[in-house]
Amino acid sequence: MARLFGTDGVRGVAGRDLTAELAMDLAVAAAHVLGDAGAFTATGRRPVAVVGRDPRASGEFLEAAVVAGLAASGVDVLRLGVLPTPAVAHLTAALGADLGVMLSASHNPAPDNGIKFLARGGFKLSDAVEDEIERRLGEQWSFPVGSAVGRVRDAYGEADRYISHVLTTVSAPLDGLSIVVDCAHGAAHMVAPEALVRAGARVEAIGARPDGLNINSGHGSTHLDKLQQVVVSRGADLGVAYDGDADRCLAIDHTGAIVDGDHIMAVLAGAMHGEGSLAKDTVVATVMSNLGFKLAMRDAGITVVETAVGDRYVLERMKSDGYNLGGEQSGHVIMLDHATTGDGLLTSLHLLGVVAKSGVSLRELASVMTPLPQILINVKGVDRAKAAIPELVAAVVEAEAELGETGRVLIRPSGTEPMIRVMVEAASEEHATQVAGRLADVVRTACAS
Catalytic residues: 106
* C-alpha–C-alpha distance, residues 446 and 437, integer Å: 14
* C-alpha–C-alpha distance, residues 115 and 49, integer Å: 14
Chain-centroid distance of CA 6 in Å reads 14
Contacts of 32 (CB under 8 A, 6+ apart): 73, 136, 139, 141
Q: Is 178 helix (H, G, I), strand (E, B) or coil?
A: strand
Q: Are 371 and 378 in contact (CB under 8 A)?
A: no
Strand order in the sheet with 152-154: 10-13, 112-119, 99-103, 48-53, 76-82, 152-154
Q: Are 393 and 400 in contact (CB under 8 A)?
A: no
> At what angle are helices 344-358 and 261-275 packed, to 10 degrees?
60
DSSP string, 282-321: EEEEETTS-HHHHHHHHHTT-EEEEE-SSHHHHHHHHHHH
Of 371, 411, 168, give the one whose Cα is nearest residue 260: 371
HSE-CB at 290 with a 13 A cutoff on CA atoms is 23
